[in-house]
Amino acid sequence: MNILEVTKLCKQFGGIMALHRVTFQVARGEIFAIIGPNGAGKTTLFNLVSGALPASSGEMRYKTELLNGLLPHQIAARGLVRTFQTVQVFGNMTVLENVMVGRHTKTRYGMLDAALRLPAARAEEKRLRADALARLELVGLAPRANESAAALSFGQQRVLEAARALALDPDLIMLDEPGAGLTRAEVEDLDRLIQRLQKQGITVVLVEHNMELVMGIADRVMVLEYGQKIAEGTPLQVQHNERVIAAYLGADTFPIG
Amino acid sequence: MNLQRQPTALRSLGVNARAFSRDFIGYLVLILLLGGMGWIEIVQPGDLSLPKLTGGLLTLDMLTRVGLFTIVLVGLNLLMGYAGQVSLGQAAFYGMGAFFSAILTTRAAALGIPASLSQAWWWAWLVMFAGMLLTGACAYLIGVPILRLRGHYLAMATLGMGVVVYVLLKENLAVPQLNLTGGFDGVHSIPRLRIGDFVIWPVTRYFVLVWFFTFLVIALGLNIVNSRYGRVLRAIHASQSAAESVGVAVHKSKAQIFALSAALASLAGSLYAHFQAAVIPATFGFGESLELVIMSSVGGLASIWGAPFGAFAVLLLKELLRTQLRVVFPGVKGEFEAIAFGVLLIVIMISMPEGLTTGMLKAYRRWRAARVLKQEIAESLEPLGMK
């Protein structure tokens, strides 16, 4: 069963076709990677699916519900979350508080409860703290829970961003270049984390340049070039696809054959 | 080396120890300061009084004003300091509250409100409460479109809103026949607040009333800051797109906090109206909005405690310059104190860009860390026989 279905999706920026009739499906529980040269439209695709940008045409469906026209926070509340290529942790908060914001939609107490610190608010706040801490345990950041998020290393901020997204209990998480700028050891941790998410039943869509990571964990890979899908299949199929090799190495300068 | 000693016992209980102790110190300092000054003024031990002690600098009148501004500033700090949304029109809401109270307590008969209502002691309190709701609702409606703007554009929009409200107050809400706001001259003879037959006046009583509300507002502000709403505000400040990406309804949250800050400004405005017994539109123009932003920045934007200390520092500074500048520089006139005020502001903002409270707290932490470091170096050198 498909959790995400994108049909003939187009996005135009002025005269530039950033995405052109892209169609793909993501099955529930799989790890789906999107690769392609710089400027291929990968991040634009994330921005459309997450509601950050409106689509020019085409359809996006999550659990059969149409996503077109929904606002980013509405999409997130439905269990489809994303992370950012440029890390966006809340540097003015502690690590724990970052994750607690991620659980905002799972809390209910109102402004009045908060202002008067009524029992409802206090009880929920306590539960919230525990839930957030559990997410930090999952990614291994629990020991640094009370530190400022700005004090974390770049790699740890990426991990924190993932933990914050996981706090929503998503069914589908979209990771935008989670491995960029990470050390080798950190990439290995990331690899394990993504596999653990899959075991928990979370569908993972990731954009990534680190081929070792992608080919190692992805169930299926889609390749974009100049806004168009040029290939899709298992890592092995994609690796031996001539159009993909041409796109990455340049067919004109290095004819393959 | 352990430079940052955190009370781990509290931390293991899940209490944010730093916030807890800071708030405790804040309450203590404020209560001691106000309690001390209020006691001297009210009891007047040994023929002493506050103005006598301070050369006319501090009066209960002035401290009451500090309380009123603090109420506005708590709201403004939530909006500007925490959520990062600039408002250059906050005085408009302050004015709306003031005029709402003024009009409905003095012109009730002309508005067709029966005397049995408008003469009751609780009428003024009811009006105050209704003013908060109304101002908050207005702010929400204004906030939904304009808070989509960011940075300088939002500043311009709020500035425009402030000008519109100011002109409306000055021009009798564009209905001169009713003469509701009294035009330039404003509204006079506003009655004092009462509880039953107990009139909350003279100023000693009003001082206690205003600070009762002020402490209440500070407590509410602190609670909000440490709740899911406070975290959302800071998240919006840090990254709007990231906040959206985790399901925060950013626009709604911004409009909500705008409404809350407006309601608080309205409360302060109503209290101001019954304090002054007269209100004029000129008090609620752009100059006042600007002064609120200055107080907020001087006190420290992202801190509730910045509110009382910012209001106090700015009012004190202005009073000092007004009374003392002529003593130091005989012969100066007119706008000279504004220049001195401006220069002092620049100095404060350069040396403590995060405001007085945060700035002093940081200076203290640096000093303590340096002392611990010095001690540890001395301890490590001792066994080596060095001193």
Tell me the mean pLDDT in the region B228-237.
95
pLDDT at A171: 96
- Nearest-Cα residue of chain A relative to residue B247: A73
Residue B4: which pLDDT band, with cuts at 50, 70 and 90?
very low
Does residue B387 surpass a pLDDT of 70? Answer: no
Share of chain B above pLDDT 70, in %: 94
Does B138 lie in the same domain as B72? yes
Does B177 lie in the same domain as B31? no
ipTM of predicted assembly, 2 dp: 0.91
Does B366 lie in the same domain as B243? no
Note whether A17 contacts B: Cβ–Cβ < 8 A: no
Note whether B224 contacts A: Cβ–Cβ < 8 A: yes
Residue A57: which pLDDT band, with cuts at 50, 70 and 90?
very high
Q: List A220's β-bridge partners, or say none.
A: A32
Cβ–Cβ gap A121/B227 under 8 Å: yes
Last residue of a domain, one of B53, B77, B96: B53
User: What pLDDT digit, counting tens, does each position of B305-328 carry?
Assistant: 999 999 999 999 888 888 887 777
Domain span at B9: 1-53
Cβ contacts from A onto B, under 8 A? 106
User: What pLDDT digit, counting tens, does each position of B92-133 carry?
Assistant: 999 999 999 999 999 988 888 998 999 999 999 999 999 999
pLDDT at A38: 87
Tell me the mean pLDDT in the region B202-226.
94
Does B221 lie in the same domain as B137? yes
- Which pair of tokens denotes residue B359? 């700035």
Tell me the mean pLDDT in the region B137-163.
94
pLDDT at B162: 95
Residue B10: which pLDDT band, with cuts at 50, 70 and 90?
very low
Tell me the mean pLDDT in the region B183-189.
91
Cβ–Cβ gap B247/A105 under 8 Å: yes
pLDDT at A251: 58
Tell me the mean pLDDT in the region B362-387.
83
pLDDT at B2: 38
Note whether B234 contacts A: Cβ–Cβ < 8 A: yes
pLDDT at A252: 55
Please name which of A74, A221, A76, A103 lies closest in space to residue A164, comparing C-alpha atoms.
A103
Does residue A10 surpass a pLDDT of 70? Answer: yes
Does B156 lie in the same domain as B46? no
The closest CB to that of B247, out of A76, A91, A116, belongs to: A76
Residue B261: which pLDDT band, with cuts at 50, 70 and 90?
very high
- Nearest-Cα residue of chain B relative to residue A82: B245
Does B221 lie in the same domain as B144? yes
pLDDT at B92: 97
User: What pLDDT digit, counting tens, does each position of A98-135 carry?
Assistant: 999 999 999 989 888 899 989 989 999 999 999 999 99
Highest mean pLDDT: which range of A21-35, A99-113, B344-358: A21-35
Cβ–Cβ gap B245/A72 under 8 Å: yes
Residue B348: which pLDDT band, with cuts at 50, 70 and 90?
confident
Q: Does residue B202 have a cis peptide bond before it, meaning omega lies within 30 degrees of 0?
A: yes
Does residue A173 surpass a pLDDT of 70? Answer: yes
Residue B329 sits in a domain whose CATH number is 1.10.3470
Does B275 lie in the same domain as B153? yes
Note whether B250 contacts A: Cβ–Cβ < 8 A: yes
pLDDT at B29: 87
- Nearest-Cα residue of chain A relative to residue B231: A101
pLDDT at B228: 93
Does B178 lie in the same domain as B30? no
Residue B5: which pLDDT band, with cuts at 50, 70 and 90?
very low
Count of domains for chain B: 3
Does B41 lie in the same domain as B71? no
Does B131 lie in the same domain as B46? no
User: What pLDDT digit, counting tens, does each position of B335-345 carry?
Assistant: 777 888 888 88
What's the predicted TM-score (pTM) here?
Answer: 0.89
Last residue of a domain, one of B9, B37, B53: B53
d(CA B248, CA B266): 28
Mean of all residue pLDDT scores within chain A: 92
Does residue B19 surpass a pLDDT of 50? Answer: yes
User: What pLDDT digit, counting tens, does each position of B29-43 carry?
Assistant: 889 888 888 888 888
Does B281 lie in the same domain as B179? yes
Does residue B1 surpass a pLDDT of 50? Answer: no
Cβ–Cβ gap A146/B247 under 8 Å: no
Mean of all residue pLDDT scores within chain B: 88
CB B216 within 8 A of CB B70: no
Residue A203: which pLDDT band, with cuts at 50, 70 and 90?
very high
| Dihedral angle of Cα B211, B213, B217, B220, to the nearest 10 degrees | 120
Does B339 lie in the same domain as B379? no
Share of chain A above pLDDT 70, in %: 97
Residue B17: which pLDDT band, with cuts at 50, 70 and 90?
low
- Nearest-Cα residue of chain B relative to residue A116: B220
Indicate if the alpha-carbon torsion angle A44, A47, A49, A52 is positive or negative: negative
The closest CB to that of A52, out of B224, B235, B241, belongs to: B241
